[in-house]
Structure 1
Amino acid sequence: MTDKVRDQDKTHFGYKDVKPDEKEKMVAGVFHSVADSYDVMNDLMSMGVHRLWKRFTIELSAVRKGHQVLDIAGGTGDLTKQFSRLVGDTGRVVLADINESMLRVGRDRLIDQGIVGNVEYVQANAECLPFPENTFDCITIAFGLRNVTDKAEALRSMCRVLKPGGRLLVLEFSKTNNPLLTKVYDTYSFSLLPAMGKLVAGDSESYRYLAESIRKHPDQKTLEAMMKEAGFVNTTYHNMTGGIVALHKGIKP
Structure 2
Amino acid sequence: MERFGGIERLYGKKAMEKFRHAHVCVVGIGGVGSWIVEALARSGIGHITMIDLDEICITNINRQLHAMDGEIGKQKTSAMADRIRAINPDCKIIALEAFFSHRNANEILDQGFDYVIDAIDRVQSKSLLLDGCHKRNIPVISCGGAGGLRDPSKIHIDDISRCYNDNLMNQVRRNLRTKYGFPMGADPKRKIKARKFYIDCIFSSESPVYQQCDGEVSTEKPKNMADEGRRLNCMSGYGSITHMTATFGFFAVSKCLDKLASV
Could you say which TM-score interval applies, normalised by the shorter chain?
A: 0.3 to 0.5
TM-score relative to the length of structure 1: 0.42
More helix by share: 1
TM-score relative to the length of structure 2: 0.41
- The structure showing larger relative contact order (alpha-carbon pairs under 8 Å, at least 6 residues apart) is 2
In our comparison, the structure showing a higher alpha carbon Rg is 2
